[in-house]
Chain A
Amino acid sequence: MNRRHFMQSAAFLPLLPGLAVNASMAHEQTKTIAAGTAVTGRRIILLELAGANDGLNTVVPWSNNYYHELRPTIGLKGNAVIAVNDNYGFHHRLKALMPVWDASELAVVHAMGYPKPNRSHFKSIALWEAGGDGYSNGKRGWPTHDIEHAYASSEIDAHGIVLGGSMGIFSNGQGNWLSMTAARQFANRQSGTLPDAAAQKPLTQNPVMQLLVERARTLKTSLDSIAAKVSNSRHSARIGGNSRLSQQLTHTVNLINAGVDAPVFKVSLGGFDTHEGQLGRHQRLLKNIAISLHDLRTELVKTDQWKNTIVMTYSEFGRRVTENGSRGTDHGTAAAHLILGGSVNGGFYGTEPDLANLSDGDLRYTMDYRSVYNRLLSDWLKLPADSFSEYRDHRLDSLTS
């Protein structure tokens, strides 16, 4: 706890009990006071592969007979796989990521999933976003609770920033969770109507209005601060890959290199719902991802931020092991995901899924995805509270250093 922070919390208190709603905010403030050992400056970039990425054709069990049997036309073999060990290799279009792998900064976690899988796009992504499973939904975006308890809004520019896709991972968050698209509109509209954060005295004795103005002001301060940092920044990143992801990551890198402090960034790339003609579509997507992530690393290494950054991919679910009649794959369950960053210890984690022992034609998950959330929150961000500690899994002990 620092003094400035304490003063602010204290100053808030007489005002806050006023609102019926404020118990939780006061609570939020105290928690912060009590805790406050989180490491600032570290961040997670979440990359959503919307539509459900085919894990088996991303991290390929190239020597597995079942794989080729079940995927006679879309199974990858020969030059289409960059083998990294006797069992597994990457899709050849992930070539641009190989320097990251060789630097041992790319980790693969096998068969991530959750109990009682749901195959609806909407439902399943909502579960990943809220840390739920087939038995219970989860109540709020998975990073929100712990991050809000560790950082007051005043300490950082934002608790999290979405640059693409849904705000779902921030759902029901009480903190400063921003969507940059909407934020830009808000900033434009409000630049004249919002009270100037610095000069303005409280306009009113109305505590509710004060809270509202305060909220808007925090928001505006946050947006202004971000805008100022970005416009003062001498860095201008170039992320290749020629997709929406490259735009989003360009913004992300510019924000990071401008010194914008937010523990979570979220980007999204869609188009993974490859029910038909998978080979062509999937390889274009993977190629774009690989180039974008490669460039992301290059840009962040320049400013020495790569060591403070972890990128994690996630998706609704994996795809059916057996290919369908349209040279595509239908909705499945578990899938491998990539975790990369300057402090990541590269390599394979978890347990290989058994292609000979499927459940209803789908992979059985071997790693609860929440075990990774646990590591990101507790080991990486070093947050004092960790909502997912019950999923702590020793197989991930050496994921980050």
Chain B
Amino acid sequence: MFSMNYATRRLSATASMQSVRAPEGRCRRTLNVLSILVLLTSLTTPATAVTSQQTLTLDDAKHLLFRTGFGATADELNTFVGQTREQSVELVVNGFRHAPQLPMPSWTQRPAPHHWARGNMTKSEMRNFNEARDREIASLRVWWVRQMIETNSPQTERLVLMWHNHFATAYAGINAQAISIARQHQLFREYGTGDLADLLKQMIRDPALLNYLDNEKSHKKSPNENLARELMELFTLGEGHFTESDVRNAARALTGYGIEPIHNLQFRFRKPYHDTAGKTLFGQTGNYNGDDLIDLILQQPHTATFIAKRFWQTYISDLPAEAEPLQQLATDFRDSGYNLKTLYRATLLSDAFWQQKHRATIVRSPVALVIGAIRSSGIVPTHWQTLPATLASMGQNLFDPPNVAGWPGGAHWITPSRLLNRMDWLEGLALNCSGTDCTDTTDSSATRTKPAPANTMNNTAAMSANSMAANVMSIVTIADQQSTMPTADSVTPSGSRTGKLISIRLAGEDFDEPVQYQVSIHLADKLLWTTGPTAVAGGHDSERLGRMKLDQAIPWQVVEFNVAADIKNFDRISVEFLNDAANNGTDRNLFVDNVVYNSEHFPASTGTQESACPPSQPYDAGRLYCNGTLTLLRSTEKPVDTNTSQAMADHQHNTANTIASNRFTAGAVYLRAARSAKKKSGYINFGLTNVWLNGRYWHTVNARFSQIAQTGKNSKEKGNSATAGSTVYALQLDRFSCWPDCTHNWPPCTSIAKRDTSSRSLTFPLSDETGNGACQYQSLAPSDRALVSTLWFNIDQLYKLALQRVPPAKEQRLRHAKDWSAHIEKMAIEIRESQYLEDSDEPIPLLQLAGTTENVSVMQDKLIHGTPLPGGRSVQQREQDWRQLLASTPQASLQTVLLPTAPVTNRHRLTLQEVLTDLSAQLQ
């Protein structure tokens, strides 16, 4: 679907380009004039060697910090003011880190969810599955926002954000594969400061990008050109520096670069898909693969220029890059063997970076604006968890750029409606409020904003260090209240917990006033504990902003309450929506996603809703559009934990104790694919999730049972003498059948495909006991043999469970599978006579289903507790930082620290609110 949309976009882009041919000519002329000017000026610029020893003034340090990080904290300024340019750039580069300071949400470290099973899910299962993924990406957004607020290397985050924008990949365009987005993000962290060649070679193997740009099924018979084209047009060379023939040949070089869904959604090179014939790229001919393609691209001089231009746009200016200095950057970059740190240093040490004419010439992206304002001012909005929704409303939904070209940025960030939105948010931050707090009534906001400028204008007293400090302290004080006072509706006593925490992930759609709700714990007809009526703060103001548009824009937040007593004996938790307003044209709604109490998880989708307007789908129980109650029953039996990371951890730490031996369990069994048994090489594939066998764990097992010609091609002794056309049943496992691998090792007699020597497979025929199959089986380690014999032994069980799992709506999938019925019966009988069962010392276990819980992704990681500390500095530290800055740097003040340039307004002393809402605060 994406490719189609994108194709349309391309078409329309081409169409509109033609229609602007005239002004383009005009632009070029102007550019030429500019470049002549640049040439003239660059002749008179002093050499970099001298300037790199200049020391940083407050303005210089601020400029460096604004551009490379987010805003500038007093702490950062204290560090950078007075350093030489060279020293300061070294400080930044040495601060780069691969691992984020704040651990990523735990789901990012787990194996990929079973996306491959989606074909067999019912509508409601699919919905739960997708919602769990949405929840994951939402948690990744909250995590990144917090990471950006707190980190002491904002420069790393800024660079990662640049790569995210450069290799723009949208979660919305990759079938909800949140895990791939998270892995791509980690890739940027790991390779974003190394060599470009490595980064690019990683990118053409990155599952998120391969999926987004439709390369995963690209086959030599019909290569898909999407990735090849964007690789050259948007990632390396730029339009006009390659030909259509290069695109076609590059696409051929990238055929076979795909993903293996069964194998943890990892990269898989499918050699049979790969075009091994000769290709002509940039005038050279050879049998090129993807890595060769990257090497050839790096031989084109324009790649260096193109990447240098990206750095220019990110760090130097929204204005077009000046030819001469840009070329210098490109040359330095190329000479270094495309080392990204070299380019980074060269950019920041270039005269262009420091020139006055380039200062304040970048329109702040929403991330730079919001995170910068928070870090600089020290004010964290009470409902900081909803910041990703704020960024989305300003046009920058993290992990969801509008298309592969990334966010257009610049003037696009300040369209009239966005400019209003940005000003509103900054004003709200200055007033230390957000959402409904700020917008309860428009009138009051008007009266609140008016008196402030008048007062400060009249106050013309000379500015002393003390009064400045007092002014600064007011910031610190606000921040102080922020981080120490519990918010009105939640108690988050991190560190000093007495009872148990109950947390609820919810969102409000406000109209007129915030949503009111209460959470209670019950046992039979007894109310054990309740929050009492509580307001959802930071809800979506549907009066001002309108109804929420996309599910992803819902401002989810996790609210926690301290349950004083440790209630263990209860049977249900309820969430009541108390103040619906549906009359007279208003709408107020409450959305509940899940509740966690004492580590027990209650997803709203499994609850029931009693209200005037119950949802049409039971899994929508958490959406309360009318007053009513969501009831979450405590399940009577403890669910089997098939949550993989947990299971893995259990396995590693405690195999012997927790997992009974002689047990075979799976989360679910799916019919993956089938070819009719009537056909010559029919097969039937069963996909098993979360498999436990005698204490050993596989995240996925894909068991393929097939009919193969009795004369295995490796068993020469039988040769052609076997009856022609006679077939034998076999179980086949290959390198990508299981995650982790099916077997501990690959026995010497493993079949290696001629076409693809990296592909290995094992074949376990049912009745051929002398051939290669026997060798393969006998050479396996005992626990590997157990997998083979157990799968064989359970053949009829697998068949039955897999077919049951096919939802009625997808019955056409059963067509070929049903042909296997008689064959399966036959196999089930024959297997009892075979070597696979004879060898076994212990009885072989029968498959038991454990149920699947992968749709439950608990978001309540540590990252949502408490309030982030801007720049990692506590309130006391921030206060000291400011004192130190004021003492050492007399010109420091609110406006000289927070604004990139003189304020647009003509007043002398500005309040915090005036500083933040000054137009120049839009720039950096």
Contact = CB atoms under 8 A, between A and B. Distances in A.
Interface of A: 13-14, 17-27, 29-31, 34, 50-51, 119-123, 125-126, 129, 135-137, 139, 162, 165-168, 170-179, 181-186, 188-190, 192-195, 203-209, 211-213, 215-216, 218-219, 222, 243-245, 268-271, 273, 275-277, 281, 284-285, 288, 326, 328, 330-331
Given A166-B547, A167-B545, A326-B612, A185 B442 contact: yes
A171 B393 CA distance: 10
A32 B449 CA distance: 39
Contact of A170 (B417, B450, B550): B417
B464 interface: no
Given A209-B901, A215-B414, A219-B419, 18 more contacts: A17-B27, A21-B409, A29-B23, A31-B19, A162-B546, A171-B549, A172-B395, A174-B415, A178-B420, A186-B424, A206-B360, A207-B319, A208-B319, A208-B410, A212-B414, A218-B416, A275-B625, A331-B616
A20 B318 contact: yes
Contact of B420 (A50, A171, A183, A285): A183
Interface in B533-592: 542-551, 553, 582-587
Question: 6 closest A-B pairs (Cβ-Cβ)?
Answer: A166-B546, A275-B613, A21-B410, A17-B27, A21-B411, A193-B905
A129 B550 CA distance: 12
Contacts of B449: 185, 188-189
B547 A173 contact: no
Interface in B442-499: 442, 445-446, 449-450, 453
A50 B904 contact: no
A328 B613 contact: yes
A206 B584 contact: no
Contacts of B318: 18-21, 208
Given A177-B417, A270-B511, A284 B583 contact: yes
Given A30-B22, A123-B551, A245-B585, A208 B923 contact: yes
Contacts of A119: 616
A281 B583 CA distance: 7
A294 to B, nearest CB: 17
A31 B26 CA distance: 15
Nearest to A141: B417
Chain B interface residue number, banded: 35 or more
Contact of B917 (A27, A30, A189, A205): A189
Contact of A20 (B23, B410, B450): B410
A222 B543 CA distance: 23
Contacts of B20: 23, 26-27, 30-31
B5 interface: yes
Given A27-B23, A51-B587, A243-B585, A182 B421 contact: yes
B416 A178 contact: yes
Interface string B886-924: 000000000000000100110000000010011110110
A13 B22 CA distance: 12
B919 A194 contact: yes
Contact of A125 (B395, B409, B547, B919): B547
B357 interface: yes
Interface in B337-366: 357, 359-363
B582 A273 contact: yes
Given A122-B549, A212-B363, A270 B585 contact: yes
Contacts of B550: 122-123, 126
Contact of A209 (B5, B360, B905): B360
Contacts of B420: 178-179, 182-183, 185-186, 219
B320 interface: yes
Interface string B391-432: 000010000001000001111101111011101100100000
B585 A208 contact: no
B712 to A, nearest CB: 48
Contacts of B445: 185
B893 to A, nearest CB: 17
Interface string B861-905: 000000000000000000000000000000000000000010011
A10 B605 CA distance: 58
Given A123-B550, A178-B416, A330-B616, A25 B446 contact: no
B31 A212 contact: no
A129 B409 CA distance: 23
Given A166-B549, A243-B584, A271-B585, A203 B904 contact: yes
B41 interface: no
Nearest to B541: A181
B313 interface: yes
B361 A207 contact: yes
22 contacts: A14-B30, A17-B27, A21-B412, A26-B27, A120-B551, A136-B5, A166-B549, A175-B416, A178-B420, A190-B423, A192-B453, A194-B919, A208-B319, A208-B923, A209-B904, A243-B584, A270-B542, A271-B582, A273-B625, A275-B626, A284-B584, A326-B612
Nearest to B613: A275
Contacts, number: 249
Contacts of B923: 208-209, 212
Contacts of B543: 181
Nearest to A187: B446
A269 B408 CA distance: 34
Nearest to A219: B416
A301 B244 CA distance: 60
A277 B450 CA distance: 46
Contact of B549 (A125, A173, A212, A270): A125
B16 interface: yes
Contacts of A167: 417, 545-546
A139 B402 CA distance: 9
Given A13-B23, A284-B583, A328-B613, A25 B411 contact: yes
B551 A216 contact: no
A50 B408 contact: no
Contact of B416 (A25, A168, A176): A176
Contacts of A137: 5
Nearest to A268: B546
Nearest to A328: B613
Nearest to B554: A122
Contacts of B586: 244, 270-271
A286 B68 CA distance: 56
Contacts of B357: 205-206
A13 B26 contact: yes
Given A13-B30, A122-B550, A27 B19 contact: yes
B434 to A, nearest CB: 15
A271 B582 CA distance: 5
A349 to B, nearest CB: 27
Contacts of A277: 612
Contacts of A125: 547, 549
Given A166-B546, A218-B416, A330-B616, A188 B450 contact: yes
Q: Which of B357, B415, B450, B547 has the most CB of A within 10 A?
A: B547
Nearest to A208: B361
B31 A17 contact: yes
Contacts of A203: 904
Contacts of A215: 411, 414-416, 419
A213 B549 contact: no
B534 to A, nearest CB: 24
B611 to A, nearest CB: 8
A130 to B, nearest CB: 9
A174 B412 CA distance: 7
B420 to A, nearest CB: 5
B613 A276 contact: yes
A170 B402 CA distance: 16
A166 B545 contact: yes
Contact of B904 (A25, A193, A208): A193
A322 B876 CA distance: 64
A177 B412 CA distance: 13
B219 to A, nearest CB: 25
A299 B359 CA distance: 53
A208 B416 contact: no
Contacts of A222: 416
